[in-house]
Chains A and B, each alone.
Chain A
Amino acid sequence: MSQKISWRRTNFQKIIFSSFSASAVLNGAILILIVYFLVSNGIEAISFDFLTKPPIDSMTRGGILPCIVGTSLLCAVTIITALPIGVASAIYLNEYATKGKLVRIIRMGINNLAGVPSIVFGLFGLAFFCIILKIGVSLLAGGLTLAIMTLPVIIASSEEALKSVSDTYREASLAMGATKWQTIYKVILPAAFPGIITGAILGLSRAAGETAPIMYTGAVFFSPMMPSSPFDAVMALPYHIYVLATAGTNIEATRHLQYGTALVLIALVFGMNLIAIIIRSRVRKKMKI
């Protein structure tokens, strides 16, 4: 092999590799660009009053407290229903199930549920929770719709957490005479707890940011007071952004509120994700040791 060809090969490789890293840089740059626009335009809108007051003057002034409360309560309903179901499903798949058709079908169900478009969840929530079960447009209906959407995320990450618990734990517990259920409850679940929480937070961050599933099941245009029961409809951060950006009486005049609300939403979502990423990297380090 002549020196020249080898030189060419490595140079060619250099060019291609830099295009690979350029694409990675591009992704990061776009993310930073979006965040930069939101922060630079939205930061003036953020104030103590913005976070603690309801909107006034046809939502052209004032704050977004009802939206923050609404989104938090929707997330609460979501996690209360999705977490137990998700963790239990993961326990079955990882601890009990043996390879076979049934497991294959269950997994296919979970994978496909994860791929259902968000607006289809909204349609289902509207037809099933709001109309058939007569819950109406409400916190409960919206939260349950989000819970179905979040379920696959929670199952997947809980399963990963359970898988990462070393088999020696299981064997030790069983050897000491514990039953399988006792082993799961007393040994495996506590060991997998941080991983499960990570999954729960990731699921929640997705639920907090979604708009389409709650448009017709839980969120309303304007309801400045706090909800008094799970059957009340609420305002929600993502839906509020949509409403302000497309249907407000004066779209240009509320731009800073739109940026501000978007900033609060991504701060919430990114915050949750960062917490999850940090917990996970700690867990992984611990597992390695």
Chain B
Amino acid sequence: MSQFNTEKGVQSIFLLIALMSITLLFLIMVFLFLEGLPIFHHVSVKEFIFGQYWYPTDDDPAFGVFPLVIGSFTVAAFAAVLAVPLGIMTAIYIAEIADRRIAEIVKPIVELMASMPSVVIGFFGMVVVSPFLQQTFNIPVGLNLFNAGLMLAFMAIPTICSISEDAIFSVPSAIKEGSYALGATHLETIIKITIPASLSGISTGVILGLSRAIGETMVVLMVAGGAAIIPESLFDPVRPMPSTIAAEMGEAPYHSEHYYALFAVGITLFAFTFLFNLAADYISYKYKQAGEGYS
């Protein structure tokens, strides 16, 4: 009986610890709201979301998050244009085309890409890419949407690639062999059979990669240029949400309007990435990969 009790005890301790992640996630939300919602005593929700101007330190401050949100999305969209095809094509190469030995070399390279510290990528963007862009395109400064998008693409590729690769690799060979037997070439099989079968995994990878691009801080802080405007060209500077928080938090006095506003930007940012993650979670749960039923 006592042994049974210990076992029960051990199990509930593990359960408690396992609940910690969700508790922490909950706590993060609670604190964001606790420190961010007071800003709405100063501005209305509509002004905050659709306000065109971000002048948090003025005597008559303006807390319009709209240009920051647009900044985040344009940078992430540009990153996606580059990262999605590159990531998926690399994934197909690793899973389908390369022979095992080469794949075993390429995969760790992708992992190393993922582990590259963001501050180092930002640094690279500042000292190497920025002067290069300045000279090549004859523009005033190289710190802009284009540069930030390039750097973020580099950060999103590994996420997109490794999740897609897992999905493509796990498509059962029986399906593929069926396709070959009907006379399809390798390429036709990949396009018509393998990719559709692993689409849920690939879209999960794309969503998570984009979520990473939107939430990434140091790169945009260092290379996006920092002007809170709605960009009109690829070479305009932008001020995405994470860089706004990181650049200004140090100078915002505790429990001032500015402090609340930055936490409110944090809520906005969190809300977007949370939606992205929920979507990815939903897709991978709902549309169980073809083949998972076979194994």
Contact surface of A with B, Cβ cutoff 8 Å:
1, 9-10, 12-13, 16-17, 19-21, 23-24, 26-28, 30-31, 34, 37-38, 85, 88-89, 91-93, 95-97, 104-106, 108-124, 126-128, 131-132, 148, 151-152, 155, 179-181, 202, 205-206, 208-212, 215-216, 238-239, 241-242, 245-246, 255, 258, 262, 265-266, 269-270, 273-274, 277, 281
Residue B139 is within 8 A (CB to CB) of chain A in the complex: no
Contact A127 B263 (CB under 8 A): yes
Q: A115-B274, A117-B242 are in contact. Are A34 and B185 (CB under 8 A)?
A: no
Of the candidates A16, A95, A104, A281, which one forms a contact with B187 in the assembled complex, judged by CB atoms under 8 Å apart?
A16
Contact B119 A117 (CB under 8 A): no
Contact B21 A241 (CB under 8 A): no
Contact B112 A273 (CB under 8 A): yes
Q: In the complex, what's the smallest C-beta–C-beta distance from B285 to chain A, in angstroms? A: 8
Contact A91 B14 (CB under 8 A): yes
Residue B249 is within 8 A (CB to CB) of chain A in the complex: yes
Residue B123 is within 8 A (CB to CB) of chain A in the complex: yes
Cα A161 to Cα B245 in complex, Å, equals 37
Contact residues on B (Cβ < 8 Å of other chain), bracket: 35 or more
Q: In the complex, what's the smallest C-beta–C-beta distance from B3 to chain A, in angstroms? A: 6
Q: A119-B242, A181-B7 are in contact. Are A105 and B22 (CB under 8 A)?
A: yes
Contacts A34-B121, A111-B280 supplied; 12 other A-B pairs, CB < 8 Å: A28-B106, A34-B116, A89-B20, A110-B21, A119-B245, A122-B217, A123-B32, A205-B115, A211-B217, A212-B118, A238-B218, A277-B111
Contact A28 B7 (CB under 8 A): no
Of the candidates A9, A112, A238, A270, which one forms a contact with B281 in the assembled complex, judged by CB atoms under 8 Å apart?
A112
Contact B18 A88 (CB under 8 A): yes
Q: A123-B32, A179-B7, A255-B127 are in contact. Are A151 and B277 (CB under 8 A)?
A: no
What are the residues of chain A within 8 A of B116 when measuring CB–CB?
31, 34, 209, 266, 269
From B23-31, B38-46, B61-69, B194-202, the one touching the partner chain is B23-31
Contact A209 B115 (CB under 8 A): yes
What are the residues of chain B within 8 A of A105 when measuring CB–CB?
22
Contact B17 A24 (CB under 8 A): no
Q: In the complex, what's the smallest C-beta–C-beta distance from B130 to chain A, in angstroms? A: 11
From B91-99, B173-181, B287-295, the one touching the partner chain is B91-99
Q: Residues 110-139 of chain B: 1 if any A CB is under 8 Å from the residue's CB, otherwise 0?
A: 111101111111111011100000000000
Contact B127 A117 (CB under 8 A): no
Contact A124 B27 (CB under 8 A): yes
Which residues of B in the span 223-282 have a Cβ within 8 Å of any Cβ on A?
242, 245-246, 249-250, 254, 262-263, 266, 269-270, 273-274, 276-278, 280-281
Contact A118 B216 (CB under 8 A): yes
Cα A241 to Cα B11 in complex, Å, equals 45
- A-B contacts, 20 listed (Cβ < 8 Å): A23-B93, A31-B113, A89-B14, A93-B18, A108-B22, A111-B277, A113-B22, A117-B216, A117-B217, A119-B245, A119-B246, A128-B27, A151-B20, A155-B21, A208-B117, A209-B118, A211-B218, A239-B119, A245-B122, A273-B111
Cα A273 to Cα B272 in complex, Å, equals 30
What are the residues of chain B within 8 A of A92 when measuring CB–CB?
11, 14-15, 17-18
Contact A206 B112 (CB under 8 A): no
Contact B109 A27 (CB under 8 A): yes
Of the candidates A23, A180, A238, which one forms a contact with B85 in the assembled complex, judged by CB atoms under 8 Å apart?
A23
Q: In the complex, what's the smallest C-beta–C-beta distance from B88 to chain A, in angstroms? A: 9
Contact A242 B222 (CB under 8 A): yes
Residue B154 is within 8 A (CB to CB) of chain A in the complex: yes
Main secondary structure of the interface of B (DSSP, over half): helix
Cα A117 to Cα B249 in complex, Å, equals 15
Contact B215 A117 (CB under 8 A): yes
Contact A115 B249 (CB under 8 A): no
Of the candidates B89, B126, B270, which one forms a contact with A19 in the assembled complex, judged by CB atoms under 8 Å apart?
B89
Cα A206 to Cα B111 in complex, Å, equals 12
Contact B222 A148 (CB under 8 A): no
Instruction: Considering the complex, give the chain A residue whose CB is closest to the CB of B211.
Output: A115
Contact A28 B119 (CB under 8 A): no
Instruction: Considering the complex, give the chain A residue whose CB is closest to the CB of B244.
Output: A119
Q: A123-B32, A155-B21, A179-B7 are in contact. Are A258 and B109 (CB under 8 A)?
A: no
Nearest first, the 4 closest Cβ-Cβ pairs linking A and B are A117-B215, A109-B22, A209-B117, A92-B18
Contact A269 B117 (CB under 8 A): yes
Cα A148 to Cα B254 in complex, Å, equals 23
Of the candidates B32, B90, B187, B221, which one forms a contact with A120 in the assembled complex, judged by CB atoms under 8 Å apart?
B32
Cα A208 to Cα B118 in complex, Å, equals 11
Instruction: Considering the complex, give the chain A residue whose CB is closest to the CB of B243.
Output: A119
Q: In the complex, what's the smallest C-beta–C-beta distance from A80 to chain B, in angstroms? A: 15
Contact A113 B119 (CB under 8 A): no
What are the residues of chain B within 8 A of A110 when measuring CB–CB?
21-22
What are the residues of chain B within 8 A of A106 when measuring CB–CB?
18-19, 21-22
Contact B86 A23 (CB under 8 A): yes
Instruction: Considering the complex, give the chain B residue whose CB is closest to the CB of A216.
Output: B249
Of the candidates A1, A26, A179, A258, which one forms a contact with B183 in the assembled complex, judged by CB atoms under 8 Å apart?
A1
Residue B186 is within 8 A (CB to CB) of chain A in the complex: yes
Cα A146 to Cα B195 in complex, Å, equals 37
